[in-house]
Structure formats: structure tokens, C-alpha cells
């Protein structure tokens, strides 16, 4: 019999979560847009502690993105107008995906179409690509055929697009990344769920605007930009809470302003089953490890043996 | 293979505000053993304060490196920002520094040097001048009048090492700047030519360097940098030669890219 240890070893916390048909080793997802295609962050990350990597969002054809400037710090957050710069789906599958295929994490491939048909075409291409664990359709992009309104702001388009992606996905898990710039986020989440989504990501960045007061011009050539970071967390928590309350049992990935483990805890309490980390990467790309370690410590201190038991565990 | 930038919790040796420009900050950090990896034109991303405001790290340009540590300079974007950073820096006994980042000037110290600098570009100019002077080469330094006090400390610091001729009357922008630079190039044949500063200086310098018979490089110092290593795809600069990634392909470019 081994000698009795004076200091009992801390019990391990089960960090695994199940999100819309995918098992993740931890609930932390590297959100699309800030972590490059994956290899860039390798010097600063232990991918075995990352539940999923969502590489730079891709489009049907390569995009050069918007002119400079593309970022501006603003009131506890960040405005960005990168303009979906990416290599296009063909180069992504041929050149980028093989680099991350063997990483010890899941790959959530975020993609945007300019029409419902293009969403379906891209879903079909990704569905047969080796190394794609989840198809995540970004519905915050404009529908070019319908005058430029974002897919995610029209319930009918959410239904149509989700159904088209589902139909082309060959059984791969489908997540829908919603726009927060809507009157009723739960209406959009329901539309996605009812037409085949396995989960929703709540949500993309809020729309924002900033002016240069010296020149009286908008800061960004595109005028409107995306607002992310700590400043939006309370609003995103409210959206996650609304979806989780209205659609019990339907998986929600929370996204917006997670900088530390305590932020992630709040997303779990609001009802998310996993969370994304985006803007924090720009401040410190080592943040992913720190957040997962912090979550583990939190669960241990609060008596949770499984992180999934924290989901919706609000004390009233 | 380029070594990835590293994070350091670096003790602050001193913090100064070089005279004449209320938005310019200089910090010396204790970072022994790093000098071999630091070169003129490179930068560190420094987290000023510990909260979320300011959120992003700030670009601090290398002004020097020794066995003991590095000297960095930062130019605040506005008086309000300068006020905020001053308070945060003055209460810091150590700083979270991430670097070194970016391309460096290819120092051609077999030649005499012509250096034009403005704003925080004076930091890179100081580093460059030192390299040339230590190699026994003469340096001709051009700085705007408003930077004279800040640059004067540079002259005093490196002036003993060799021949440094400094002029504190460089126009800030426009035709006067272009004419002055053209005249300087005409009187400095074969010199290694460098510029470090905002876009107006870089464009004028690149245009003036078109007929120069020596190497000409520019360091663009007024861009916002987010992650610093090309991951976020947010930091670009549009040049006549096309769109370039400022954080990793720069801050130093061949001057030809800007004409």
C-alpha cells in the first residue's frame, strides 16, 4: 500500500464537451479571424488544450481584403475591417488544411458565401475534404444576390442557407455562426435549428463605426466595421442566455470578449456549452492555455468534476 | 530560420520623455542576452497597464540594445493617449514585452550613412547611426526641428564614436521635404540611405532615392500593429508595389516599394 499522502492530489476536472455532434477535448475554440490558419499560433499554443481551431474564414474565391487601416482600438474593444482577406476555398483545402490536419484538436471551418447557392457549393467542397470536423457557415456576410443584406438578419435566408448547407454537408456537423445585429437572436437560432443546424455560434461581431475627428472622415474605407472584445461581452452573454432559454438542449457556442477564465465561466452560466476566444489572441496568443488552466482551477474550487455541469448552473 | 518573438516580463531600468515632444516615451528594459537578436528597425509590442484599457499592446521601436537590455521608444497617437500612457508607465516597475518583431535595416556599414528620421523614427535612426559610427563611418542625420531636443540626446550619446553631422531642419512633409531630400541625395553619392518615420517622410524619401546610386531603405513607423506576427491579417500597408503585411514584411522595406 502506498504511503498516505499528506496533501491529497487535486482531482482532475473532465474538460470534455459535446457540441453539435462533435466531442471537444476542452470547451475552448480558437475563433475564426484572429488566429490565422492555425500554424501561426503554434509557438504560443498547446493544441492538445484547445477544443477546436477555427481557421481564418474562407470564401469561394481569394479576397485581398480591405485597405488600411483595418483595426482601431475603441472603448475596451476593437473595431476591425479586415474584409475577409483569405486565400479562397481551393487554396485553403490544398495548402492550408494539410498543415493543421494532424493537430491534436478539432477543425471548425468557417466559410462565407455570396449567395445560398455558393454556400451550398462550398459546403459540398468542404464535406469531402480530409480534416474538416465541422462546417461553420458565417451568416454575417452580405447576400450579393439580394441587395447586400446580411444572411443572418433575415429569418427566411437563415432557413434557406442552413438547409442548403445541411443538404450538401454529407452528414458532417453543421454550425451556424449568427449575426448579433438582429432584433431576436432566438428567432434566428430557431430557424437554424429547424432547418438542420447542429449548433449555433452566438455570435459574430457587432456593427460599429468610428470617425477620425481631425479629418472628419470615417476611420475605415468600408465605413462600418465589426466591434469585438471585452466591451461586447455583456451584450453577447444576454444573447447566449436568450437562445439557451428559448431553445433548451440546443448547443450554443458563446463568443465575444473572453479574455480570462472568469469570462468563459460566465458564458457557461448563460447556457453555452463551449466558447470562442478571438480578440484576446491579439493581446496575448498564449491566452488559450491560461484560460483553460483557469477554468480547470475554477471548477475544482467550485466542486464541479465535469465542466459540462457548469452549463446553465445559475444560482438564483 | 527566424526565431519566433518571445514574451518577457522585463524590469524597467528607466523611463524618460525625450524633450520637445510630449507624446514621445523612452523606456530602458533589463533584458540581458537579447542584443544579438535586436537590430535597427525592429520593434517590441509592449503591454502598458494590466487591464483592458488600453487593450492592444503598443509598438515600441528599438533605439538600442546592449548586453544588459534594450532601449525602446513609443510615440503616442494623441495628447490624451500620451497622458494615459504616462500615468501607466510611471507606475510600472516591469513591462510585458513581446518581441523582437519585424524586419530590420540591412546595415551597410562599409559606407557612410544618410539618415532621415521623424517622430519615433528617431529611435531607429539612433540605433542605425551607432552601427555606422562604430564601424568608423560618417553619418549625416536629418531630423525635423520639432524633434531637435529628442535627437540632440541621440547626438550626445553617439557623437563621441565618430563623425555625426546632424541637421534639425527637415521639413515635415510636402514639396519642401521632397526638395530637401533630393538635394541631400545629390550631395551624398554612394551613401547607405535610410529613412524612419511616418508615411509622408517614407514616400518623399523613396521618391528622392530613385536616382541614388547606393542602397536605400525605409522604416514605416506610424502603423497600428495588432498581433505582430502575421496571424490576424489586420496590419497591411498599401504601396505602389502592392499590398504588404506591415508587421512581418516591415517595418523596414526597400525604398523602391514606395515609388
Residues of A in contact with B229 (CB under 8 A): 40
User: What is the residue whose three cell numbers read 470534455?
Assistant: A16
Tell me if A225 sits within 8 A of A79, measured CB to CB. yes
As to burial, measured by CB atoms within 10 angstroms (0-12 exposed, 13-18 middle, 19+ buried), residue B80 is exposed
- pTM beyond 0.95: the answer is no
Give the model's pLDDT for residue A2: 46
Strands A77-80 and A71-74 turn out to be antiparallel
How many Cβ contacts (< 8 angstroms) between chains A and B?
Answer: 81
Residues of A in contact with B238 (CB under 8 A): 67-68
DSSP state, residue A92: I
Cell numbers for B228: 505582430
Kindly indicate the confidence band of residue A8, based on its pLDDT and cuts at 50, 70 and 90.
low
CA distance to A43, A212, B7, B68, per residue, from B32 (Å): 22, 41, 14, 4
Kindly indicate the confidence band of residue B157, based on its pLDDT and cuts at 50, 70 and 90.
low
| Range name among A133-142, A186-195, A297-306, B138-147 with the lowest pLDDT average | B138-147
Give the model's pLDDT for residue B161: 60
Closest of A206, A162, A182, A159 to residue A20, by C-alpha: A162
Contact A56 B233 (CB under 8 A): yes
pLDDT tens-digit profile of A20-36? 989 999 999 999 999 99
CB atoms within 10 A of CB B76: 19
Closest of B94, B95, B102 to residue B38, by C-alpha: B102
Closest of A169, A311, A193, A175 to residue A246, by C-alpha: A193
CA A189, A192, A194, A199 dihedral sign is negative
Contact B54 A43 (CB under 8 A): no
As to burial, measured by CB atoms within 10 angstroms (0-12 exposed, 13-18 middle, 19+ buried), residue B84 is middle
Cell numbers for A108: 471548425
Contact A70 B229 (CB under 8 A): no
> Above 50 in pLDDT, residue A3?
no
The answer to whether B199 faces chain A, any CB pair under 8 Å, is no
pLDDT tens-digit profile of A275-313? 999 999 999 999 999 999 999 999 999 999 999 999 999
Clarify whether A273 is annotated catalytic.
no
Kindly indicate the confidence band of residue B169, based on its pLDDT and cuts at 50, 70 and 90.
confident
pLDDT tens-digit profile of B10-59? 999 999 888 667 788 999 999 999 988 999 999 999 999 888 889 999 99
Query: Which residues, in sequence order, are CB contacts of A9 under 8 Å at separation 6+?
Result: none
The answer to whether B52 faces chain A, any CB pair under 8 Å, is yes
**Nearest-angstrom CA–CA distance, A202 and A252:** 7
Mean pLDDT of A175-196: 97
Give the model's pLDDT for residue A10: 63
> Above 90 in pLDDT, residue A151?
yes
Amino acid at each position: 500500500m502506498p504511503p498516505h499522502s499528506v496533501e491529497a492530489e487535486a482531482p482532475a476536472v473532465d474538460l470534455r464537451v459535446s457540441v453539435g455532434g462533435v466531442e471537444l477535448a476542452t470547451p475552448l475554440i480558437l475563433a475564426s479571424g484572429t488566429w490565422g490558419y492555425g500554424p501561426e499560433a503554434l509557438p504560443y499554443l498547446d493544441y492538445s488544450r484547445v477544443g477546436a481551431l477555427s481557421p481564418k474564414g474562407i470564401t469561394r474565391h481569394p479576397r485581398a481584403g480591405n485597405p488600411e487601416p483595418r483595426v482601431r482600438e475603441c472603448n475596451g474593444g476593437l473595431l476591425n475591417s479586415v474584409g475577409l482577406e483569405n486565400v479562397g476555398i481551393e487554396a485553403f483545402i490544398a495548402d492550408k488544411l494539410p498543415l493543421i490536419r494532424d493537430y491534436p484538436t478539432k477543425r471548425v471551418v468557417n466559410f462565407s458565401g455570396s449567395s445560398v447557392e455558393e454556400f451550398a457549393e462550398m459546403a459540398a467542397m468542404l464535406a469531402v475534404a480530409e480534416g474538416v470536423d465541422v462546417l461553420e457557415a458565417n451568416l454575417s456576410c452580405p447576400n450579393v444576390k439580394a441587395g447586400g443584406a446580411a444572411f443572418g438578419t433575415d429569418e427566411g435566408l437563415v432557413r434557406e442557407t442552413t438547409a442548403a448547407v445541411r443538404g450538401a454537408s454529407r452528414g458532417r456537423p453543421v454550425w451556424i455562426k449568427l449575426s448579433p445585429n438582429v432584433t431576436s437572436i432566438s428567432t434566428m437560432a430557431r430557424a437554424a435549428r429547424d432547418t438542420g443546424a447542429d449548433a449555433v455560434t452566438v455570435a459574430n461581431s457587432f456593427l460599429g463605426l468610428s470617425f477620425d475627428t481631425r479629418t472628419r472622415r470615417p476611420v475605415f474605407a468600408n465605413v462600418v466595421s465589426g466591434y469585438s472584445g471585452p466591451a461586447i461581452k455583456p451584450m453577447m452573454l444576454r444573447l447566449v442566455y436568450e437562445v439557451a432559454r428559448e431553445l433548451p438542449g440546443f448547443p450554443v457556442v458563446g463568443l465575444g470578449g473572453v479574455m480570462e477564465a472568469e469570462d468563459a465561466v460566465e458564458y457557461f452560466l448563460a447556457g453555452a456549452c463551449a466558447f470562442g476566444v478571438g480578440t484576446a489572441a491579439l493581446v496575448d496568443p498564449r491566452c488559450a492555455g491560461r484560460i483553460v488552466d483557469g477554468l480547470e482551477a475554477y471548477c475544482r474550487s467550485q466542486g464541479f468534476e465535469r465542466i459540462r455541469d457548469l452549463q446553465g448552473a445559475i444560482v438564483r | 530560420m527566424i526565431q519566433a518573438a518571445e514574451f518577457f516580463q522585463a524590469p524597467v531600468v528607466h523611463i524618460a520623455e525625450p524633450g520637445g515632444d510630449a507624446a514621445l516615451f523612452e523606456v530602458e528594459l533589463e533584458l540581458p542576452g537579447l542584443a544579438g537578436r535586436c537590430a535597427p528597425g525592429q520593434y517590441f509590442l509592449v503591454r502598458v497597464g494590466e487591464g483592458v484599457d488600453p487593450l492592444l499592446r503598443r509598438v515600441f521601436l528599438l533605439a538600442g540594445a546592449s548586453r544588459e537590455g534594450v532601449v525602446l521608444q513609443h510615440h503616442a497617437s494623441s495628447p490624451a493617449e500620451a497622458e494615459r500612457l504616462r500615468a501607466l508607465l510611471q507606475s510600472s516597475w516591469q513591462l510585458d514585452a513581446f518581441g523582437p518583431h519585424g524586419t530590420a535595416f540591412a546595415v551597410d556599414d562599409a559606407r557612410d550613412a544618410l539618415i532621415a528620421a521623424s517622430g519615433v523614427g528617431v529611435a531607429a535612426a539612433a540605433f542605425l547611426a551607432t552601427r555606422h559610427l562604430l564601424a568608423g563611418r560618417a553619418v549625416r542625420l536629418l531630423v525635423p526641428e520639432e524633434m531637435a531636443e529628442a535627437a540632440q540626446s541621440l547626438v550626445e550619446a553617439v557623437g563621441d564614436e565618430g563623425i555625426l553631422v546632424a541637421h534639425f531642419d527637415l521639413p515635415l512633409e510636402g514639396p519642401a521635404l521632397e526638395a530637401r531630400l533630393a538635394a541631400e541625395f545629390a550631395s551624398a553619392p554612394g551613401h547607405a540611405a535610410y529613412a524612419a518615420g511616418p508615411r509622408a517622410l517614407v514616400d518623399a524619401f523613396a521618391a528622392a532615392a530613385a536616382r541614388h546610386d547606393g542602397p536605400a531603405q525605409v522604416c514605416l513607423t506610424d502603423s497600428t500593429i495588432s498581433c505582430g506576427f502575421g496571424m490576424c491579417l489586420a496590419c497591411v500597408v498599401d504601396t505602389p508595389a502592392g499590398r504588404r503585411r506591415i508587421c512581418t514584411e516591415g517595418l523596414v522595406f526597400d525604398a523602391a516599394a514606395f515609388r
